[in-house]
C-alpha cells in the first residue's frame, strides 16, 4: 500500500465514538506526522467531504472550529456499504437458484452516483471472460445491468449521466445520446436490457430491475455469457426466470406492489 495512502487511512481510524473530534495539534502529537503535512491531509479530506469543520459561535460571529469531525461523505459511503451487505444476503439464495437453472454467470449490481457497482456475482460452471467482477464499476449507459437501472431514473439523473465523458469499451457500447435514450426507453417499456459486446467483446448480458420499498430502482440482476449461450431470439426462455428472481428479491426489500413485468 502507498505510504501516503496508509497515513491518510490511519488518520481517519483515529475518529471513534470515544474521540469523535480532533484538533490539528492533537493529531500531530498522536501520529508524529509533521504539522504542514498533516494540514495538507486534513484540507484534502475536508475538500472531499470526508472530514468537516463545524461553525461555532465566537462572540457575535460564527467562525470555523479548530476541531475536525467525520464528514457526510463517510455517512453516505457507510449507508452504501450497509445496503449492499443487506441485499447481498437477501439476494444470494435466489441468485444461486438462477445460476443452477441456466448455468450462466449471475450478477447483482447497484447504482452509485453515475456508475453501476457490481456487488455480488456467481460464476457459471463454464467460466467466460467477462468485464464484471465484484467491486468493479461500469457507467450507467453501458452494459445491460447498469443501463436497466438508468432506465428507471429521473430525467435529472439521466442528464447527469449523459453529461459525463463516454468511453467505447467494446464494439457494441452505445455512446451517442440517441442510442442511449433508445435503450433507456426500451428498458422501461419492456422491463429488461440486452447488451452484446458493450463492456467486453463477444459477451452478452440480460438484466432486469429490482424494485425497493420506495418503488425506486437502485439494483438490478443479470445473467451473462457468450452470445451463443444467450441468443436474442431465445431471450424469452431467460426472461421469466430473471423476472421471477427479481420479483422475489424486490419483495424481500419491501416492494409491496405486483412485479410489473412478465409474471
Q: Evaluate whether the domain defined by 80-252 bears CATH number 3.30.450.40.
A: yes
pLDDT band at 83 (very low <50, low <70, confident <90, very high): low
Helix residue spans in the chain (DSSP H): 3-13, 24-31, 35-47, 72-102, 144-150, 155-162, 177-190, 235-252
For residue 147, is pLDDT > 70?
A: yes
Beta-carbon contacts of 21 under 8 Å, excluding residues fewer than 6 positions away, are 15, 67, 68, 69
Q: Which residue has the cell 437477501?
A: 90
Radius of gyration of the chain (CA): 22
pLDDT at 249 (0 to 100): 94
Between CA 257 and CA 179 the distance in angstroms is 31
Q: Note the residue count of the chain.
A: 263
For residue 68, is pLDDT > 80?
A: yes
Q: Which residue has the cell 475538500?
A: 47
pLDDT at 260 (0 to 100): 95
* Domain-wise residue ranges, the chain: 3-70, 80-252
CA 30 to chain centre: 35
pLDDT band at 178 (very low <50, low <70, confident <90, very high): very high
pLDDT at 124 (0 to 100): 81
Q: How far is CA 17 from CA 20, 45, 73, 181, in A?
A: 5, 19, 17, 47
Q: List, for residues 194-225, the tens digit of each pLDDT value.
A: 999 999 888 899 999 999 988 999 999 999 98
The backbone torsions φ and ψ at residue 203, rounded to the nearest 5 degrees and listed phi first, read: -105, 155
Task: Report the SS3 class of residue 83.
Answer: helix
Helix, strand, coil abundance in the chain, percent, nearest 5: 45, 20, 35
Q: Which fold has domain 3-70?
A: Arc Repressor Mutant, subunit A (1.10.10)
Q: List, for residues 130-143, the tens digit of each pLDDT value.
A: 666 788 889 999 99
Closest among 191, 193, 136, 137 to 164, alpha carbons compared = 137
| pTM tops 0.75, yes or no | no
pLDDT average, residue stretch 237-247: 95
Amino acid at each position: 500500500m502507498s505510504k501516503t495512502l496508509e497515513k491518510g487511512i490511519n488518520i481517519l481510524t483515529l475518529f471513534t465514538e470515544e474521540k469523535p473530534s480532533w484538533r490539528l495539534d492533537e493529531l500531530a502529537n498522536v501520529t508524529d506526522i509533521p504539522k504542514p503535512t498533516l494540514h495538507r491531509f486534513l484540507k484534502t479530506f475536508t475538500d472531499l467531504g470526508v472530514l468537516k469543520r463545524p461553525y461555532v459561535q465566537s462572540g457575535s460571529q460564527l467562525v470555523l472550529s479548530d476541531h475536525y469531525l467525520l464528514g457526510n461523505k463517510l455517512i453516505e459511503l457507510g449507508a452504501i456499504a450497509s445496503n449492499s451487505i443487506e441485499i447481498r444476503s437477501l439476494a444470494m439464495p435466489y441468485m444461486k437458484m438462477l445460476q443452477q437453472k441456466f448455468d450462466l454467470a449471475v450478477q447483482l449490481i447497484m447504482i452509485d452516483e453515475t456508475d453501476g457497482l457490481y456487488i455480488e456475482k456467481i460464476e457459471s460452471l463454464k467460466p467466460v471472460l467477462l468485464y464484471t467482477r465484484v467491486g468493479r464499476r461500469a457507467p450507467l449507459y453501458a452494459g445491460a445491468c447498469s443501463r436497466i437501472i438508468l432506465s428507471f431514473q429521473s430525467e435529472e439523473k439521466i442528464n447527469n449521466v449523459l453529461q459525463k465523458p463516454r468511453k467505447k469499451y467494446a464494439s457494441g457500447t452505445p455512446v451517442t445520446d440517441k442510442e442511449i435514450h433508445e435503450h433507456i426507453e426500451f428498458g422501461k417499456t419492456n422491463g429488461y436490457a440486452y447488451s452484446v459486446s458493450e463492456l467486453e467483446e463477444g459477451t452478452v448480458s440480460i438484466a432486469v430491475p429490482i424494485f425497493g420499498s420506495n418503488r425506486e430502482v437502485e439494483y438490478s440482476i443479470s445473467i451473462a455469457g457468450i452470445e451463443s449461450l444467450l441468443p436474442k431470439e431465445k431471450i424469452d426462455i431467460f426472461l421469466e426466470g430473471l423476472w421471477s428472481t427479481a420479483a422475489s428479491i424486490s419483495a424481500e426489500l419491501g416492494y409491496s406492489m405486483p412485479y410489473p413485468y412478465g409474471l
